[in-house]
Amino acid sequence: MHLSNFITLISLPLALAFHLRVAIPSSQQLLHPNTLPASTHATLTTLSNTYSSPLRSDNTFDFRNVTSGSYLLDVHCHTHAFAPLRVDVREIVPDGGGLEGQEVQVWGTFRGNEWTNTGEVVQAQKENGIWAFDVKVQSGKDYFIERTGCEPY
């Protein structure tokens, strides 16, 4: 009796955890994602939780043990700007009670929009227990502006 309760308690967090993989595909704004600086990282944020992941060598971010909820995905990079995404992660529970499966929905979002205002759908696919989707580069960042009309010494 005690052994079955122990096994149930151990397996419960594993059943409720999600594994998300966010990829940076090659695009016109960023032909070679592997040239991004090593300081590039992504965060999944909600009111009560924050998950952070560094950029991996295969141009992905891995978020393990993500709990159900609605998150804002931000990619932090000092050379490029990325589009923020809304990521909804939830367990699908049938009327009978037991766990049926998982669902991840991803949408584009904009700063200042109401949270209920979802943008363009981003396809998320589950493969080998990992939910995967892409994040898009919006543009490169320019910190310095070249002055015109100034003569060099």
The CATH number that applies at residue 131 is: 2.60.40
- One-letter amino acid at 87 equals V
Cβ 55 vs Cβ 36: under 8 Å: yes
Is residue 148 situated within a structural domain?
no
- One-letter amino acid at 92 equals I
pTM, whole model, 2 decimals?
A: 0.75
Our count of domains for the chain comes to 1
pLDDT per residue rounded down to tens, the chain (153 residues): 455 544 444 444 444 688 999 999 888 887 888 888 889 999 999 988 899 999 998 999 999 999 898 999 999 999 888 989 999 998 877 666 555 678 888 998 887 778 888 888 899 899 888 999 999 888 877 777 777 776 666
Is residue 118 situated within a structural domain?
yes
Range of the domain at 85: 2-140
Is residue 69 situated within a structural domain?
yes
Q: Name the DSSP class of 6.
A: H
Is residue 13 situated within a structural domain?
yes
Is residue 153 situated within a structural domain?
no
User: What is the model's pLDDT at position 44?
Assistant: 94
Is residue 151 situated within a structural domain?
no
**Distance, CA of 21 to CA of 116 (rounded, Å):** 24
> Which residues are registered as beta bridge partners of 136?
none
Place of tokens 């766990």: 99
Is residue 115 situated within a structural domain?
yes
- Residue 21 φ/ψ, nearest 5 degrees: -125, 120
User: What is the model's pLDDT at position 31?
Assistant: 82
Is residue 127 situated within a structural domain?
yes
User: What is the model's pLDDT at position 16?
Assistant: 62
